Structure 1
């Protein structure tokens, strides 16, 4: 029997503040969440009965994108931007593209281009502990850890989808975890 496991890493990263240019400048904040609808069923990893999967872990110092300060004066409505991040077998980022359109990830409209550029620039510099498939010599017991005798780790390239929602609250740029 084979199991299907999505490539996506469940994440909820806390927001962080961008440093204002001047003491009275508006600041931006960012949040991100995992979006499973961004990857079709055909693109999901299929594991054998003797395999488990360990998703990539983001480095704790990965910098989050900033609200583009040049857009603060425009008081734009909230902009949802989804990026698809390719993570190589060594944990480096292979590339960042707009995520496929889905209910959670709207098509990228012209006002969102600077927000996508901010998200892409930040995520392109991210690093991860690599993902891997753990291959057991036999069918593993539930919750059995990899690394025991009779197992080996196979590095795995994956694709992750992140949703960033940039918005203005009380005249300040912020980015919240999308809903």
Structure 2
């Protein structure tokens, strides 16, 4: 699951003109994954989904992360889930991105002919928020975490 919103401080969706496109921030391949909380392994909990909204500034730096509740894929957190969210928040605080870009082209036709880049036209770094879903699972006493759609 990945949801993208622009201008995270105002929590509103970005609106693009006909001659504009948006390039999603690119995650650094070295971004660490969350770790299954060791203290919870003995509890043998069922699979647990945790969703987080990550606010990224114009430079590609993570500014904050907050729980994202979007039932049924992203349930509300209860007491046990707090440790899972803390594991996610700890990992994403270390993440880095190439900034998201608003590309401004001379006209809509030029935009349609330029795919996957700003093509040398005007690039405006954009603050955005991305929503991620992590699934914490346990098998044979070992915890694992995967990013899920």
TM-score (norm 2): 0.86
Q: Give the drift of 1:133.
A: 0.3
Q: Give the drift of 1:141.
A: 4.3
- Correspondence for 1:53 among 22, 41, 58: 22
- Deviating more after overlay: 152-161 vs 100-109: 100-109
Q: Is 1:68 aligned with 2:21?
A: no
Q: Give the drift of 1:178.
A: 3.2
Alignment of 1:15-94 (within 5 A): 34-36=1-3, 43-94=12-63
Q: Give the drift of 1:125.
A: 1.1
The 4+ residue runs of structure 1 with deviation greater than 2 A are: 100-103, 140-143, 176-179
Query: What is the match of residue 174 of structure 1?
Result: 144
Query: What is the match of residue 100 of structure 1?
Result: 69
Q: Deviations over 1:13-69 (max 9, x none)?
A: xxxxxxxxxxxxxxxxxxxxx344x97xx8321111000111100111111110011
Q: Give the drift of 1:100.
A: 3.2
Query: What is the match of residue 14 of structure 1?
Result: none
* Cα distance in structure 1, aligned partners of 2:76 and 2:93: 20
Query: What is the match of residue 94 of structure 2?
Result: 125
Question: Given that residues 20 and 111 in structure 2 are in contact (C-alpha distance below 8 angstroms), is that contact kept between their aligned partners in structure 1?
Answer: no
* Cα distance in structure 1, aligned partners of 2:12 and 2:65: 17
* Cα distance in structure 2, aligned partners of 1:35 and 1:56: 12
Question: Given that residues 19 and 111 in structure 2 are in contact (C-alpha distance below 8 angstroms), is that contact kept between their aligned partners in structure 1?
Answer: no
TM-score (norm 1): 0.73
Q: Give the drift of 1:176.
A: 2.9
Highest RCO, 1 vs 2 (Cα 8 Å, sep ≥ 6): 2
